Amino acid sequence: MPAVHRRPTRLERAMVYLLFAIVAIVALWVPLYNRAEPALFGIPFFYWFQFVWIMVAALATAVAYKVGL
């Protein structure tokens, strides 16, 4: 039996768009993470924050996919 596909509500779409906006703003706001400390296993904050933020963006994309956008 085929799966029933429902359209996301306006609130669900708004929440996903807000989530993507937050991810984009933080990624583009370089002064937020433009520093060397605190280092993690010898890796400066500037680099490991960006790596972690890639994972956050992937999670946001997964949420959007689950919502159905």
The one-digit pLDDT tens for each residue of the chain (69 residues) are 567 777 888 888 888 889 999 999 998 998 888 878 888 888 898 888 899 999 999 998 898 888 876
Domain limits of the chain? Answer: 31-69
Please give the pLDDT value at position 13: 87
User: Structure pTM?
Assistant: 0.75
* 16: exposed, middle or buried (Cβ count in 10 Å: 0-12, 13-18, 19+): buried
The rounded distance, in Å, linking the Cα atoms of 26 and 67 is 22
Residue 69 is predicted with a pLDDT of: 66
